Chains A and B, each alone.
Chain A
């Protein structure tokens, strides 16, 4: 997802062909699956030469500072309108009936009992043939109230013919297992890299060899705002679709097709949205349901999943099994590596898990396969594949370091890719300093004392691309009354997009943050990319800067004439535009300048500027954990995250995201797991009581640090790497505390007690 589709030429020393007229080749770094690749890109020769620049960091007034979010007052007062909160006249509330079977043919559907109920306005069939996972919506019912919609859902009659099914990967790999995807085998080998014989030979040359099987459960996105839309269609030739989505522009054309309208006749609106984490792109089944109902009823339909549907039918992070065997030399070299990776993505492919993650063994062999089961498909979830890969690989790295009696921190630094060693070393050493590693007594072997309460420290790394692309079109308007607007169709997932969009314009025009209004989240504004792969900021911020820069240039043209000054001699600061050669006497206030422009003021457009973005981010995290060896209780006392991301737009919002990444990783590591009954196929914890996410009392001290050692002056996204290493650092801290290696998440007390018994016996 982080890859720019235009980059297809990997790892070549020379450009593939001579540059076209006016073009030149540049080398840039891309990261995919934790492996960074240098690619050649053909760019304009004069691009950026006379364009906008962020300027020196020390000169920034707003950007790279702590900025209060412009929409925070709306959020703390309840004024912020999310898709759930949209209320339009005549709106019906809808809910879905979910299939209770893991695999069933649908024999008969009777909607009439539902349609006869008071308040029920209509019902539509979403699936009439076959369902292959529990929770798949089959029917949707609309009514005047949510309560009546629930009544209607209960009244619908569906007869199923239940088929044989396979819930666990073991069941679906049995010789007589039913084939889930037509004639295709339930197991698909994706790729094999490196020769097994070479890796085995290298293994024999090692001073220490360790191996293990790491297991990661299926995790849910668990967005607080469930998936859903409000389709405001009342017949006629236009519609507005409010959506809780990560991509404004993933909604309008899709909805238009379903409503039998033209793309230009549908406007998608995403004013505020309650969390996505990778799971909210496009209309989805909930969107289909709303469109069908709205089309039939010719009235607006509010179709937001209830919590059970959110757990059952809105995707998840793929589970997996990583069987690793590796060897190191006493020198600290990761010398040989063999991995067998199994992806568990339900009826889907299971996201990008492979190995080795980040670290570079001298010799390696990896085989990756995916195993289909009759469970809901995985979807993209914040850094798809990375947390799973990290959990196994970072555990293996610690085990190897201890096996050769080396500090795991030094072992990591020794084995990261050469071109990233400086950054990772800086980040790891800062983590070590802040978490207290340097004075920790157990740095080269776990603490094997008989104490009951024991404290350990662990580390892990992350990597991501986070670069941008040219999708965004931004408009900046300077209105005659001096007000400033910036418009883009982009969406704010809670990352602070709206705020930095305003801040970039305010910075360029010498204004305060509250003097600029950011209008976003509407497909009638300029195009914007969907928020996937941490690509939003690196795509959007340069286009906003370009639009603001163009607006300033246009304003300078007018003011130059007015003041009799060459536009290049003008400067803007503190709400006034002045002649830089005679600033005291020859100036005009910003508002007066806008008024003097006349007409409708200035409208300036902006597009992506390659020079204002960068890509390739990394970070290190450390966890300090206390374990109770008597009860198995695991308590995270302290986590530190050091994250680079080029030029920071809003420091406090970026720290919030880093906190959020660490907390989600802690939650993934300690609590989260979708539990499915292997015989019945029923999901046993499709609610917030039984599917636990971290709450106030479980998080310990969180210390987010933005790595100012990263001096790149381009913008890069950083949401994804923040969530990658936390659970791995926690598992490593447990190992460091007591010598128990937990290889299966969630890391619970029963597993710790079992592992401690094993550790003692071993």
Chain B
């Protein structure tokens, strides 16, 4: 976890601050298309020399606007977990570097690793976390199917799988087993629930199609 450019001490950095970490994180967040370009632009024309401090951001999370005070280097994952009220701890810190998928959230409907996305880069975009899926307490088809098919054991990977499968089935309710495996290829589970997760995803796809999806 090296972060050579963070120099704590400065207060109140502006938006568009840039650090090597954001380039590294942006480059790794392949799922979130525009980030690499954004980071490169920022590198070419730095608008601030401030590399640390506290910035006030307004994020739109699960349909509600929320102000958070974070550092430029704060990941979306840590902003959700440590700076929101109430804390949104559904997305999990597991690898903190984009290799396990337990922190998966949706940015404008696309699944991204929130550990590889800076909170600042989520400004102006719609963030959906696992807490935001069930409307008025009613489970989604994906969530319901995971319950019925025993799709979680310890459950620590489960929020990530819920988000990956939800995005996959929103794109294509008729996704095949191979397509579901592909959509979840970035999600690790140590208990070995995969077979029941796949069964659940296929069942959720069937339920969504029955409701009139594509």
Contact = CB atoms under 8 A, between A and B. Distances in A.
Contacts of A664: 190, 192
B82 to A, nearest CB: 6
A306 B194 contact: no
Nearest to B134: A77
A627 interface: no
A93 B129 CA distance: 23
Contacts of A496: 153
A702 B102 CA distance: 23
A687 B143 contact: no
A656 B181 contact: no
A750 B130 CA distance: 41
Given A274-B155, A495-B153, A150 B147 contact: no
Given A68-B150, A493-B154, A78 B192 contact: no
B146 A696 contact: no
Given A68-B147, A659-B196, A664-B192, A81 B89 contact: yes
Contact of B1 (A150, A493, A662): A150
Question: Which range holds the interface residue count of chain B?
Answer: 35 or more
B8 A225 contact: no
Nearest to B81: A85
A118 B7 CA distance: 10
A84 interface: yes
Interface residues of A, number: 68
A226 B73 CA distance: 23
B192 A118 contact: no
B148 A68 contact: yes
A652 interface: yes
A76 interface: yes
B192 A662 contact: yes
Contacts of B150: 66, 68-69, 72, 652-653, 655-656
Interface string B186-197: 011111111110
Nearest to B129: A78
Nearest to B8: A118
Nearest to A223: B190
Contact of A275 (B82, B146, B184, B191): B191
B23 interface: no
A531 to B, nearest CB: 12
B91 interface: yes
B188 A224 contact: yes
A552 interface: no
B195 A659 contact: yes
Interface in B159-181: 159, 162, 181
Contact of A307 (B6, B96, B158, B189): B96
A699 interface: yes
A82 interface: yes
Contact of A224 (B71, B82, B92): B92
A493 B191 CA distance: 10
B6 A84 contact: no
A397 B156 CA distance: 39
A702 B143 contact: no
Contacts of A699: 192, 194-195
B191 A660 contact: yes
B61 interface: no
Given A72-B147, A76-B147, A306 B71 contact: no
Interface of B: 1, 3, 6, 8-9, 71, 73-74, 78, 81-82, 87-97, 99-100, 102, 129-131, 133-134, 139, 142-143, 146-159, 162, 181-182, 184-185, 187-196, 198
7 contacts: A77-B90, A147-B73, A151-B3, A226-B94, A304-B93, A494-B155, A659-B196
Interface of A: 66, 68-69, 71-73, 75-82, 84-85, 87, 93, 117-119, 145-148, 150-151, 154, 221-226, 272-275, 277, 304, 306-308, 493-496, 652-653, 655-657, 659-664, 687-689, 693-697, 699, 702
